[in-house]
Amino acid sequence: MTEDEISRIVIGCAIEVHKNLGPGLLESAYQECLCYELKNKGLEIQKEKALPVIYKDIKLDQGYRIDILIENKVVIELKTVEYFTDVHSAQILTYLKLGEYKLGLLINFHVSLLKNGIKRFIM
């Protein structure tokens, strides 16, 4: 399955979760529900995937955690914020770079219409 195919499934599942729950919950609630939907679509997911930072000869295991990694290809970073900031974009771009992934989705569930809370990042 390509990154684009995975992306379409993720967005559909995220819309389903948002349609049922609406805005206003904690990020962890959306994460659990989205993982449930993704698993039901038959996708392999890793929740809170550790992403170490490697610098020269040292490996920092306490680096970062990807909210959801799908099929070891697509990074999903979830938010429940008023609006995205440059820090949110930098965060997902860092995950893509460190993990050598090609596609990432930044999804903000704290919006009235979910399509307005999705940003796609390509490396």
How does pLDDT run across 48-82, given as a tens digit for each residue? 999 988 888 988 877 789 999 999 999 999 999 99
How many Å apart are CA 51 and CA 64, to the nearest integer? 5
End-to-end CA distance of the chain: give it in Å, rounded: 18
Averaged pLDDT score across all residues of the chain: 95
Residues in the chain: 123
Q: Which parts of 1-115 fold into alpha helices (H)?
A: 3-21, 27-40, 86-99
Count each helix (H run) and each strand (E run) in the chain, helices first. 3, 5
Reported as a single tens digit per residue, the pLDDT across 9-27 is 999 999 999 999 999 999 9
Q: 100's torsion region: left (phi>0), alpha (psi -120 to 50) or beta?
A: left
- pLDDT above 70: percentage of residues in the chain: 100
For residue 62 the two structure tokens come to: 């306490």
pLDDT at position 48, please?
95
Position 25, amino acid: L
Instruction: Please state which architecture CATH assigns to domain 3-122.
Output: 3-Layer(aba) Sandwich (3.40)
